Structure 1
Amino acid sequence: MSDIRIRKAEGTWTVRAGGAVLAESRNALELSEDGHADVIYFPREDVAMAFLDRTDHGTHCPKKGDASYYSIMTKSTELQNAAWSYEDPLPEAERIRDHLAFYASDTVTVERV
């Protein structure tokens, strides 16, 4: 029995950091995983990739696969490993291929508008 559920996120979702809109999408996905907060994944084509710089950081999830990380470059700072992507996800998480998720923080907002 899978404890990962992926569905279309209702409405329009945005990511903002450093005064800039990094992503805006009506096609975001919402991933629910037992024991974790829901995560919004944005299609890569709806993300301003010019603000992101790939890092050499990586993690492994036994249910989703290997994650690659990106730092967000704002005018004033670099937010280390603030976004991640499963570029070759395991079959259970295939729908999040070519999507990115962002850590919400005091400097990064992920919200439905």
Structure 2
Amino acid sequence: MRVFNMRLALAGSGGLGQRAFVADRDGWRLDAQPPIYGIAKCRRRTMVEARWNGALIASSDDTVVVEGNDYFPREAVDDALLRPSDTTSTCPWKGGAHYYTLDVAGSQNVDAAWYYPDPKPEAADIRGRIAFWKGVTVA
């Protein structure tokens, strides 16, 4: 796991019109205004991989980081390893999430990947992207 030293500078007069910009040597940049809940969305421009059970699940140099999770472009994820799940959940500012189960070498990681097919406007940057958890290593 990487630990990043980030510098944060705030511009604007405050409130909802305020924008935050994050920069460091590893290519992080905030491309969107923080939503009402104060969660910053960063775009990472360095190669990031998601791995589980010895398999490469996803790889991209263009992930969107929200609440500490890298959201990979859909085309960067290996479709052969995803199985649709009936599980759904709701985030108050991102909207309704849907899940995939990972199926790697005969082992399954239930609901280890999620995505927002129709995110709320505050989370539009993650449309068409997938994030991972439940033991999936993202680095």
Give the TM-score category using the shorter length.
0.7 to 0.9
1:54: how far off? 1.0
Please give the TM-score of this superposition, normalised by the length of structure 1: 0.87
Deviation at 1:104, TM superposition (A): 4.8
Q: Give matches, 1:67-106, under 5 Å.
A: 67-105=97-135
Which fold has the larger relative contact order, with Cα–Cα distance below 8 Å and residues 6 or more apart in sequence? Answer: 1
- The one-letter code matched in structure 1 to 2:63 is A
Largest Rg, 1 or 2: 2
2:78 aligns with: 48
How much does 1:4 deviate?
2.4
For 1:9, the equivalent position in structure 2 comes to 44
Quick one: which of 4, 11, 19 aligns to 2:54?
A: 19
Question: Which range moved further: 21-30 or 3-12?
Answer: 3-12
| Counterpart position of 1:35 | none
**1:29-48 mapped onto 2 (5 Å cutoff):** 29-32=64-67, 38-48=68-78
Give the whole-Å Cα distance in 2 for the aligned partners of 1:42 and 1:63. 19
Percent sequence identity over aligned pairs = 37
Q: Which structure 1 segments of 5+ residues have no match?
A: 33-37
Task: Give the Cα separation in 2 of the matches to 1:110 and 1:104.
Answer: 11
* Distance in 2 of aligned mates of 1:101 and 1:48: 13
Question: How many angstroms apart in 2 are the aligned matches of 1:21 and 1:110?
Answer: 10
1:109 maps to what in 2?
Answer: 137
RMSD: 1.1
Q: Tell me how far apart the structure 2 counterparts of residues 30 and 89 of structure 1 sit (CA, whole Å).
A: 15
- Contact 1:104–1:110 at 8 Å: present in 2 too? no
**Would you identify which runs of 4 or more consecutive aligned residues in structure 1 move more than 4 Å?**
none
- Equivalences, count: 104
**Paired AA for residue 97 in structure 1:** R
